[in-house]
Amino acid sequence: MKLRFVFAMLGAMLAGAANAQVEIFCQPIHTDFLISEETTIRVEVHNNTSDTLVLAGTNRNAKLGFELTTESGAAVSQRTELPFAPADVIHSGETWTRAIDLLPFYDLRNPGRLMLRTYIEWDGKAFLTPKHFFNLTRGPEMGKLIVAAGTGQKKATVKYSLRTVARAEGEMLFLCIEDPETQVRVAAANLGTSIRLYPPQLRRDAEARLHVLHQAAPNRFTHSVLTDTGHLLNQEHFATDYQMPEMREVDAHVVVTGRPYIPGDDRRLPLGPETNH
């Protein structure tokens, strides 16, 4: 009887120890990321301890971080600390969820397959997630434009390119900005879904704004206007009812003509660019 009681107490103690812990989960939101786009990781922490976990500030008692390596095992260089604030606390019994963009904090300029693990250090213990993998890719080039930038000794060239990456919802088109000599990419703006029936068009107007016209769906084209640094200013959509939307220059301005797209309109161009006549 006493032995049974001892085993029962031991089982209760072990169960309590198992519950008094931190559970942590992480998941990249995509399998493939284009270099210089937001590289977002979803992180979820369950605080099963009796303490409050404080991730920042003078009362910090826990540290959340990432173990990020290349496929060969080399550590990816971290540029700055992750941006936690004193308000980032996880009370006992609570679940804390965040979407964290790794791009500002790690050197993610090179293509390749990366391994990610997320950890929390607390009370002399470390809690670690399983390994997750994702790919950094330059993406196939669908169009490009190289222009002069700066003046005098600071004069240089900038390359704007249209590149795609596959996602669960379809192929996505990005406008990328990079130094054509070093191939260092500084920005990647997501322009939305794209299909390859008609090749996208890229132009720059007299005010240094960038214009992209691409086929976003069988029945829809999208005209995007961006700053020369890749900030999206505006998007408008055009239908494909037997008339190809046209982008052209008028008095140093870039204009797109066509019939505005009405959601639900299923009319479309009947032929591809190779056979349309």
For residue 14, being part of any structural domain is answered with: no
Residue 247, in any domain of the structure? yes
| Nearest CA among 187, 228, 191, 241 for reference residue 213 | 191
Burial of 207 (0-12, 13-18, 19+ CB in 10 A): exposed
pLDDT at 264 over 90: no
End of a domain among 82, 104, 136? 136
- Is there a single domain that holds both residue 131 and residue 157? no
* pLDDT value, residue 265: 64
Q: Are residues 235 and 143 in the same domain?
A: yes
Residues 123, 145 within the same domain: no
Same-domain pairing of 146 and 243 = yes
How many structural domains comprise the chain?
2
What was the pLDDT predicted at 183? Answer: 79
Sign of CA dihedral 78, 83, 89, 92: negative
Q: Are residues 124 and 152 in the same domain?
A: no
What are residue 66's DSSP bridge partners?
118
Do 146 and 130 share a domain, yes or no?
no
Q: Is residue 59 part of a domain?
A: yes
**CATH code, domain carrying 128:** 2.60.40.2970
Pick 149 or 184 by higher pLDDT.
Answer: 184
Q: Which residues pair with 229 in a beta bridge?
A: none
Pick from 257, 164, 168, 252: nearest CA to 216: 164
Pick the last residue of a domain from 136, 158, 182.
136
Does 267 reside within a domain? no
Instruction: Say whether both 132 and 188 belong to one domain.
Output: no
- Is residue 239, in this structure, part of any structural domain at all? yes
271 within some domain: no
One domain for residues 29 and 121: yes
Range of the domain at 237: 139-257
Same domain as 144, residue 119: no
Q: Has residue 172 been placed in a domain? A: yes
Angle (CA) 44-45-51 rounded to 5° is 160
Amino acid 242: pLDDT: 67
85-131 pLDDT tens trace = 878 999 999 999 999 999 999 999 999 999 999 999 999 999 999 99
Give residue for tokens 């009947």: 270
The whole-chain average pLDDT of the chain stands at: 86
DSSP string for residues in 135-200: EEE---EEEEEEEEES-GGG-EEEEEEEEEEEETTEEEEEEEEE-TTT--EEEEEEEEE--SSS--
Three-class DSSP labels, 237-250: EEECCCCCCEEEEE
pLDDT at res. 164: 97
- pLDDT category, 18, cuts 50, 70, 90? very low
Residues 152-203: tens digit of each pLDDT = 666 788 999 999 999 988 999 999 999 888 878 889 999 999 998 899 999 9
Q: Is the predicted pLDDT of residue 271 greater than 50, yes or no?
A: no
Same domain, 111 and 148: no
Report yes or no on 106 lying in a domain: yes
| pLDDT computed for residue 150 by the predictor | 64
Question: Looking at residue 185, what is its pLDDT?
Answer: 87
29 in the same domain as 121? yes
Q: How many whole angstroms separate alpha carbon 270 and alpha carbon 277?
A: 11
Residues 143 and 253 in one domain: yes
- Residue where a domain terminates, one of 136, 165, 197: 136
